[in-house]
Amino acid sequence: MRNLLKNHYLAKSISDVSWSLFRQWLEYFTSKFGKQAIAVAPHYTSQKCSSCNAIVKKSLSTRTHVCSCGCELDRDINAAINMLNLAKARDGQSRSNANGLTTSTLIGENLLAQVSRVKSESPSL
């Protein structure tokens, strides 16, 4: 969030977005359809090759991921595959929030349960 807010043209719009409501919707629909929502750190997911794990530097305007191993994918598809692999590697372990801070949220626990637990653990909140 901090880096997104550095864009002076979009900062107000980004601040107005209800991130917690978005997370609640994700948790609701994943539980409704019997799926899991696992937060992963998005760092380097569009630059890392989903086939060979090599880092392929590219600018934001480059929309195709082309690696020396022969992998050629849309940049977003490559990032999605990498995020899926990260989520599978975590196997439902502790997750991190948008700031990258680790939380002790377990799969299936909703946001309200997490907030109430954090408040009881940290009375200053």
Judged by DSSP in three states, 111 sits in helix
User: Which of 35, 20, 15, 45 minimizes the C-alpha distance to 97?
Assistant: 20
Q: What is the mean pLDDT of residues 115-122?
A: 50
Judged by DSSP in three states, 56 sits in coil
42-98 per-position pLDDT tens digit: 889 999 999 999 999 999 899 999 999 999 999 999 999 999 999 888 765 555 455
Its pTM stands at 0.58
Contact 42, 75 (CB under 8 A): no
